[in-house]
């Protein structure tokens, strides 16, 4: 065995030497043989002749010696490869088209499947993630699709459920960490001791919380995340047992979590909207009260018992929710839903992703169709060449292997180029990452998918390389060598004689059209979205959140004074023309809402309690944002807590309750037992939750009367926004070093960010549609060029017989356009069926938007015309003399 | 010279070459001459089969080759039986005898 291998290797690497030895051996043999006959008495010529005769064919012997060395397979492969490269180089256009088709198919597929598998298929990094659920209140009857539960509801669920192994109550918040007279804003989660073990978090140092720390009256403890520990304390291990100060209170650090643990807003969307917690705290006192139903500011996570399905859990919780509904007189539509954690994380991008995956599957299909098509054309062009080789004695298997080597070579090149495209697309996707698509940070090339697409395309190469190869190898030699086999006169240019190829082109156009229409719909939808007026002027507006809390601001008057002073100083900054502050800025995660009672409006029985968004605003807020005042007045500095309470409502609320425009002077109150508040003004509605989301009714209260500590400060500036932001931050720091400034952005940026997800989807689908169109163009162009090449002698003869050039042009053109039109009809029908699934991700555009359909059809038509025109032009320019002479 | 030539069954040439080499190392031409003489001119081995067979045997490790000066002072490639080749010869000889006697029995029937 070893000897065999060594011999073969020697044969491979010392081929020339071995050939020379065989030559010498055979020459010796011949001499001896000749000598033998001469000795036997033959004259010299006769002796040579007889020796030759006795020995048999010398070349044949050499060839057989080579074969017996066992390197024939490899030698043939090398020869095939050399030949394949040479013949591909002879028709570089075709080779490039095939490689390009494959590259796009493989590259696009790998990239998008990588994105999808990262987002959808990779399990969450928690133990048995499929058994973790998050619980939400839903009150669809009064327009609340999802709301945070309260500790009271948590307590009911804990004591009454039969389906959960473990449950956890959590809420997020921001705190001011004071260290060496420097204030930092930190985000934390207050949670029951069950949360961290449920999510598989283990301490790297110290411990996590103990069950008894869920009870009141325990010392204040704190657990740090690894990242925060590294950032803030440079990984100092002596931190355990030390005390740190949050919002003026000391907490003892008892543990640091290991680095592998991560929790973010996507997994646990807290009411405070914090992105990633820096630290964990035991629950606040209010969370420990079993009948605290009022504070709906909590998240409930639960781990299902093994074997319990999400549906079973949901039915169990529905029963408990019904009890709460009865006992607490909630709206009829009140329920509690159990959402699997993975759905929570990727829920709203699932549709987009599945559409993208569909798009990519179509692109792969088109790419393979193209390759098949081009390989068929290639084989047809080479029938003659193959026939010649067969006539010279090439065996059928040898010819088939040769053709296969060629198609596999092209596939491999295509695969390599595809890998490059995939890498490039992924880096583009990573750079485009809007920041609000969950889990995209983890994006990496999916090698399994790469292998899969590579295999698919190589298989296409093999199958569609093999079919024509087999057919070609069976060619009737005489028929092929006579020019008859090359574009027969009888059939002329007709594609009717090439049904398979025509069908492939039709399929390509039929598949790419829905993709293009889908991309068109998304694009149009995006334009519509970008044109939505947010209700304020986002130009030249900077904004940031300022956290005025802590012991020195316990007195609310101090907070109001702080913002007044800040506003006063800010207006003196260079370039600043207006400034104001509000508790909940549009397009941020800050929110606030509550019940609403209207004087003289008695809600009919069974009708849910009115809900409205609630904001505290400083007097100049509206003018700074350029939110128009429609009726009445804005707030003034004298609207303080010693003055009668006042409010400003937005147009949405005014239109609903006072359609005649007489809202000013009417009264509202927040609950049955709170004082009446007089409406003094009506302002325009703003888009609070995104350009594509309906806003809710908003009531603004003067900051002098609702004295929030945390406010968003906005400033309109004519100078550089970054400079203005820096200047305001500096002002805050000089006024009080303990006050953190965060969530800094221009309003323009917030508007852009709110559309990031749509832009991402549009760009991705647009990219794929573009790829599809390129591929389909290649397809039409390839087939038409092939038909012209095949039909050259035919066209030449017609021209020689007097056919006009223009009629040749129209002949080719008509053939191509026929295919294109049939393909477009097929595509139109499938587009009508397919775009319907896009309804949910479109904004203000119907899935059957006629404008989009017409424009895309027109575009496709132009592309088809171009793809047909070039080959047709070539047909027109054929010189009959040259063409016929080459025959 | 009798023009009766026998077509060698597949694999038989290998056996004959191995046998021819049991006495001494030989070059290709000598092997073909030896086979011709010993078979009383009934077997004439063409170089088209002989040399490929030699290469095949060498690849399998049953014979070794080396270049040496021949009796007429020319460089020639000499083939020698290896230990493995000797074993192979025994195996194949036994197999051949068994086959030949079996075929003989069948032919002698009736």
**pLDDT tens digits, one per residue of A542-588:** 999 888 877 788 888 999 999 999 999 999 999 999 999 999 899 88
Note whether A65 contacts B55, CB cutoff 8 Å. yes
Q: What is the pLDDT of residues A689-721, one digit of tens each?
A: 888 777 788 999 999 998 888 899 999 999 899
* pLDDT over 50 (residue A483): no
Choose the mutation target among B34, B41, B45, B59 for the interface with A, i.e. most A CBs under 10 Å. B59
B27 near A CB under 8 A: yes
DSSP string, A350-387: HHHHHHHHHHHHHHHHHHHHHHHHHHHHHHHHTHHHHH
**pLDDT band per the 50, 70, 90 thresholds, residue A492:** very low
* pLDDT over 80 (residue A886): no
- Stretch A363-371: mean pLDDT: 80
> Chain A residues with CB inside 8 Å of B46's CB?
54-56, 61
B11 near A CB under 8 A: no
Q: What is the pLDDT of residues A804-861, one digit of tens each?
A: 888 878 877 888 888 889 999 999 998 888 888 777 778 888 888 899 999 989 988 8
* pLDDT over 60 (residue A476): no
Rounded to a whole number of angstroms, the distance from the CA of B17 to the nearest CA of chain A is 16
Rounded to a whole number of angstroms, the distance from the CA of A57 to the nearest CA of chain B is 7
Q: What burial class does residue A762 get, using C-beta atoms within 10 Å of its C-beta: 0-12 exposed, 13-18 middle, 19+ buried?
A: buried
B97 touches B37 (CB < 8 A): no
B28 near A CB under 8 A: yes
> Chain B residues with CB inside 8 Å of A31's CB?
74
* pLDDT over 80 (residue A62): no
A220 touches A252 (CB < 8 A): yes
A65 near B CB under 8 A: yes
When mean pLDDT is compared over A185-189, A473-477, A768-772, the highest value belongs to: A185-189
Note whether B61 contacts A4, CB cutoff 8 Å. yes
Choose the mutation target among A65, A66, A69, A70 for the interface with B, i.e. most B CBs under 10 Å. A65
Note whether A25 contacts B77, CB cutoff 8 Å. yes
Note whether B75 contacts A24, CB cutoff 8 Å. yes
Q: What is the ipTM of this complex?
A: 0.79
Q: How far apart are CA A784 and CA A820, in angstroms?
A: 11
Which of B29, B55, B56 lies nearest to residue A29, judging by beta carbons?
B29
Q: What burial class does residue A765 get, using C-beta atoms within 10 Å of its C-beta: 0-12 exposed, 13-18 middle, 19+ buried?
A: buried
**pLDDT band per the 50, 70, 90 thresholds, residue A870:** confident
Q: What is the pLDDT of residues A125-177, one digit of tens each?
A: 888 888 999 999 988 776 677 888 999 999 999 999 999 999 999 998 888 88
**A60-74, A405-419, A463-477 — which is least confidently predicted?**
A463-477
Choose the mutation target among B8, B14, B41, B55 for the interface with A, i.e. most A CBs under 10 Å. B55
> Phi and psi dihedrals of B75, rounded to 5?
-75, 130
Total beta-carbon pairs less than 8 A apart between chain A and chain B: 71
DSSP string, A549-606: -SGGG-SHHHHHHHHHHHHHHHHTSTTEEEEEEESS-TTSS---EEEEEETT--PPTT
Which of A21, A32, A68 lies nearest to residue B29, judging by beta carbons?
A32
Choose the mutation target among A2, A68, A69 for the interface with B, i.e. most B CBs under 10 Å. A68
Can you give the pLDDT at residue A565? 93
> Phi and psi dihedrals of A846, rounded to 5?
-80, 150
Q: How far apart are CA A663 and CA A671, in angstroms?
A: 19
Can you give the pLDDT at residue A493? 47
B66 near A CB under 8 A: no
A8 near B CB under 8 A: yes
B46 touches B36 (CB < 8 A): no
DSSP string, A241-303: T-EEEETTEEEEEEEEE-TT----TTTS--TT--SS-SEEEPPPGGGG-TT--S----EEEEE
Q: What is the pLDDT of residues A80-99, one digit of tens each?
A: 777 777 777 777 777 888 88
Rounded to a whole number of angstroms, the distance from the CA of A21 to the nearest CA of chain B is 8
* pLDDT over 60 (residue A497): no
A756 near B CB under 8 A: no
Note whether B60 contacts A3, CB cutoff 8 Å. yes
* pLDDT over 50 (residue A595): yes
A7 near B CB under 8 A: yes
Note whether B75 contacts A32, CB cutoff 8 Å. no
> Chain A residues with CB inside 8 Å of B53's CB?
68
Rounded to a whole number of angstroms, the distance from the CA of B110 to the nearest CA of chain A is 41
Which of A7, A57, A58 lies nearest to residue B59, judging by beta carbons?
A7
- Stretch A527-552: mean pLDDT: 87
* pLDDT over 90 (residue A432): no
Residue of A nearest to B32 (CA): A29
Can you give the pLDDT at residue A785? 76
Residue of B nearest to A71 (CA): B59
**pLDDT band per the 50, 70, 90 thresholds, residue A254:** very high
Please list, in sequence order, all residues whose beta carbon lies within 8 angstroms of the beta carbon of residue B63, skipping any fewer than 6 positions away.
B17, B18, B21, B54, B57, B79, B80, B81, B82, B85
Q: How far apart are CA B79 and CA A52, in angstroms?
A: 23
CA A317 to chain centre: 34
Sign of CA dihedral A43, A48, A50, A54: positive
Instruction: Strands of A591-687 (E only): list them.
Output: 593-598, 610-617, 629-632, 646-650, 667-669, 677-683
How large a percentage of chain A has pLDDT more than 70?
A: 90
Can you give the pLDDT at residue A42? 81
B82 near A CB under 8 A: no
**pLDDT band per the 50, 70, 90 thresholds, residue A278:** very high
* pLDDT over 90 (residue A430): no
Can you give the pLDDT at residue A676? 92
A206 near B CB under 8 A: no
A3 near B CB under 8 A: yes
* pLDDT over 50 (residue B35): yes
B64 touches B79 (CB < 8 A): yes
Can you give the pLDDT at residue A725? 92
**3-state secondary structure string across A306-349:** CCCCHHHHHHHHHHHHHHHHHHHCCCCCCEEEEEEHHHHHHHHH
Residue of B nearest to A21 (CA): B77
B53 touches A68 (CB < 8 A): yes
* pLDDT over 80 (residue A445): no
Q: What is the pLDDT of residues A300-354, one digit of tens each?
A: 999 999 999 999 999 999 999 999 988 888 888 889 999 998 888 776 667 777 7
Note whether B28 contacts A28, CB cutoff 8 Å. yes
Note whether A4 contacts B29, CB cutoff 8 Å. no
Which of A22, A36, A57 lies nearest to residue B51, judging by beta carbons?
A22
Which residue would you say has higher pLDDT here, A786 or A650? A650
Can you give the pLDDT at residue A441? 65
Structural domain spans, chain B? 12-108
**pLDDT band per the 50, 70, 90 thresholds, residue A610:** confident
Can you give the pLDDT at residue A484? 43
Please list, in sequence order, all residues whose beta carbon lies within 8 angstroms of the beta carbon of residue A126, skipping any fewer than 6 positions away.
A132, A198, A199, A200, A341
Q: How far apart are CA A343 and CA A863, in angstroms?
A: 41
Which of B28, B53, B56 lies nearest to residue A29, judging by beta carbons?
B28
Q: How far apart are CA A118 and CA A443, in angstroms?
A: 6
> Phi and psi dihedrals of A743, rounded to 5?
45, 60
CA distances from A302 to A159, A194, A768 (A): 13, 10, 40
**pLDDT band per the 50, 70, 90 thresholds, residue A490:** very low
Can you give the pLDDT at residue A842? 81
* pLDDT over 80 (residue A465): no
Give the H/E segment covering residue A675: none
> Chain B residues with CB inside 8 Å of A26's CB?
47, 51
Strands A610-617 and B75-81, by their bridges, are unpaired
Tokens describing residue A522: 């998304």
Can you give the pLDDT at residue A714? 95
Which residue would you say has higher pLDDT here, A678 or A772? A678
Q: How far apart are CA A257 and CA A204, in angstroms?
A: 5
**Quick one: fold of B12-108?**
Arc Repressor Mutant, subunit A (1.10.10)
Note whether B48 contacts A64, CB cutoff 8 Å. yes
CA R_g for chain B: 15
A189 touches A281 (CB < 8 A): yes
Note whether A60 contacts B55, CB cutoff 8 Å. no
Rounded to a whole number of angstroms, the distance from the CA of A25 to the nearest CA of chain B is 7
Query: Mean pLDDT, chain A, as a whole number?
Result: 82
> Chain A residues with CB inside 8 Å of B74's CB?
28, 31
Can you give the pLDDT at residue A668? 92
* pLDDT over 80 (residue A209): yes
Give the H/E segment covering residue A742: strand A741-746
Can you give the pLDDT at residue A693? 78
* pLDDT over 50 (residue A187): yes
Q: What is the pLDDT of residues A5-54, one digit of tens each?
A: 777 777 777 777 888 888 888 888 888 888 888 888 888 888 888 777 77
A68 near B CB under 8 A: yes
CA distances from A498 to A235, A493, A503, A556, A879 (A): 72, 10, 9, 85, 25
**pLDDT band per the 50, 70, 90 thresholds, residue A496:** very low
A683 DSSP β-pair partners: A629, A650
> Chain B residues with CB inside 8 Å of A4's CB?
59-61
Can you give the pLDDT at residue A120? 67
Note whether A69 contacts B59, CB cutoff 8 Å. yes
B64 near A CB under 8 A: no
* pLDDT over 80 (residue A121): no
């Amino acid at each position: 065995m070893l000897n065999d291998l060594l011999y073969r290797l020697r044969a491979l690497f010392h081929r020339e030497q071995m050939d020379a030895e065989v030559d010498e051996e055979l020459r010796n043999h011949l001499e001896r043989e000749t000598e033998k006959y001469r000795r036997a008495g033959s004259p010299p010529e006769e002796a040579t002749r007889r020796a030759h005769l006795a020995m048999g064919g010398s070349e044949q012997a050499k060839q057989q010696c080579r074969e017996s060395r066992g390197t024939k397979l490899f030698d043939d492969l090398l020869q095939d490869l050399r030949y394949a490269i040479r013949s591909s180089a002879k028709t570089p256009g075709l080779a490039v088209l095939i490689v390009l088709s494959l590259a796009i198919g493989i590259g696009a597929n790998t990239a998008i499947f990588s994105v999808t598998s990262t987002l959808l298929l990779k399990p969450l990094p928690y133990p048995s993630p499929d058994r973790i659920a998050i619980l939400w209140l839903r009150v669809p009857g009064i327009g609340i699709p999802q709301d945070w539960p309260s500790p009271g509801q948590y307590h009911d669920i804990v004591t009454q459920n039969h389906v959960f192994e473990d449950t956890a109550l959590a809420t997020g918040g921001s705190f001011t960490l004071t260290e060496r007279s420097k204030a930092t804003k930190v985000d934390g989660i207050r949670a029951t001791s069950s949360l961290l073990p449920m999510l598989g978090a283990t301490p790297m140092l110290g411990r996590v919380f103990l069950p008894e720390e869920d009870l009141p009256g325990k010392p204040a403890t704190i657990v740090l995340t690894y990242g925060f520990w590294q950032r803030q304390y440079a990984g100092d291990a002596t931190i355990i047992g030390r005390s740190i100060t949050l919002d003026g209170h000391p907490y003892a650090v008892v543990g640091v979590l290991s680095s592998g643990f991560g929790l973010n807003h996507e997994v646990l969307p807290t009411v405070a909207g914090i992105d990633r917690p820096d630290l964990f705290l035991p629950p606040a006192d209010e969370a420990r009260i079993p009948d605290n139903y009022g504070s709906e500011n909590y998240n409930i996570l639960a781990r299902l018992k093994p074997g319990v399905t999400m549906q079973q859990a949901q039915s169990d919780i529905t029963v408990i929710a019904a009890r709460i509904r009865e006992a607490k007189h909630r709206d009829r539509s009140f329920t509690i839903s159990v959402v699997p954690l993975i759905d929570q994380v990727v829920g709203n991008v699932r549709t987009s992703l599945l559409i993208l995956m569909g798009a990519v599957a179509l692109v792969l299909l088109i790419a393979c169709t193209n390759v098949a098509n081009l390989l068929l054309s290639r084989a047809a062009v080479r029938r003659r060449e193959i026939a010649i080789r067969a006539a010279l004695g090439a065996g059928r298997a040898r010819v088939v292997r040769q053709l296969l080597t060629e198609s596999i070579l092209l596939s491999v090149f295509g695969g390599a180029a595809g890998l490059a495209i995939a890498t490039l697309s992924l880096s583009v996707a990573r750079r485009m990452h809007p920041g609000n698509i969950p889990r995209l940070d983890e994006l990496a090339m999916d090698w399994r998918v790469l292998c899969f697409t590579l295999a698919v395309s190589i298989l296409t190469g093999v199958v569609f390389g093999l079919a024509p190869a087999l057919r070609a190898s069976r060619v009737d030699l005489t028929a092929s060598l006579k020019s008859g086999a090359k574009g027969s006169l009888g059939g002329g240019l007709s594609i009717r004689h090439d049904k398979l190829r025509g069908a492939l082109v039709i399929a390509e156009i039929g598949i790419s059209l829905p993709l293009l229409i889908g991309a068109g719909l998304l694009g149009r939808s995006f334009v519509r979205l970008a044109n939505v007026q947010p209700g304020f002027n986002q130009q030249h507006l900077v904004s940031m959140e300022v956290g005025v809390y802590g012991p020195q601001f316990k007195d609310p008057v101090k907070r109001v004074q702080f913002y007044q002073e800040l506003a006063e100083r800010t207006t003196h900054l260079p370039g600043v023309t207006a400034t104001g502050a509000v508790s909940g800025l549009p397009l941020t995660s800050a929110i606030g809402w509550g019940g609403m009672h209207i004087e003289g409006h008695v809600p009919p029985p069974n009708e849910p309690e009115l809900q409205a968004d609630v904001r505290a605003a400083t007097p100049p807020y509206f003018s700074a944002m350029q939110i128009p005042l429609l009726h009445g007045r804005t707030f003034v500095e004298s609207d303080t807590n010693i003055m009668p309470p006042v409010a400003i409502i937005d147009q949405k609320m005014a239109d609903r309750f006072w359609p005649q425009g007489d809202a000013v002077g009417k009264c509202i109150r927040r609950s049955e037992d709170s004082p009446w508040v007089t409406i003094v003004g009506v302002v325009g509605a703003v888009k609070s939750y995104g350009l594509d989301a309906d806003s809710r009714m908003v009531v603004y209260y003067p900051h002098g009367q609702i004295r929030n500590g945390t406010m968003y400060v906005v400033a309109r500036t004519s100078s550089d926004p970054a400079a203005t932001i820096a200047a305001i931050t500096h002002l805050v720091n000089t006024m009080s070093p303990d006050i953190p400034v965060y969530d800094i952005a221009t309003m323009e940026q917030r508007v852009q960010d709110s559309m990031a997800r749509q832009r991402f989807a549009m760009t991705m689908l647009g990219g794929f549609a573009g790829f599809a169109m390129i591929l389909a163009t290649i397809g039409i162009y390839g087939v038409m060029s092939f038909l012209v090449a095949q039909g050259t002698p035919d066209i030449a003869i017609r021209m020689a017989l007097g056919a006009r050039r223009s009629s040749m042009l129209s002949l080719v053109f008509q053939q191509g356009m026929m295919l294109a039109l049939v393909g477009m009809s097929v595509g139109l029908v499938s587009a009508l069926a397919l775009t319907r699934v896009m309804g949910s991700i479109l904004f203000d555009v119907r899935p059957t938007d006629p404008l989009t359909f017409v424009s895309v059809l027109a575009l496709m038509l132009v592309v088809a015309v171009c793809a047909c025109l070039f080959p047709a032009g070539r047909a027109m320019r054929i010189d009959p003399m040259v063409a016929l002479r080459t025959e | 010279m009798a023009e009766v030539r026998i077509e060698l069954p597949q694999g038989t040439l290998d056996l004959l070459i191995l046998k021819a080499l049991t006495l001494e190392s030989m070059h290709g031409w000598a092997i073909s001459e030896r086979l011709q003489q010993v078979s009383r001119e009934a077997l004439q081995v063409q170089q088209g089969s002989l040399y490929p067979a030699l290469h095949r045997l060498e690849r399998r490790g049953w014979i070794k080759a080396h270049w040496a000066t021949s009796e007429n002072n020319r460089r020639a490639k000499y083939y020698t039986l290896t230990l493995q080749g000797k074993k192979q010869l025994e195996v194949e000889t036994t197999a051949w005898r068994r086959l030949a006697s079996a075929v003989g029995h069948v032919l002698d029937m009736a």
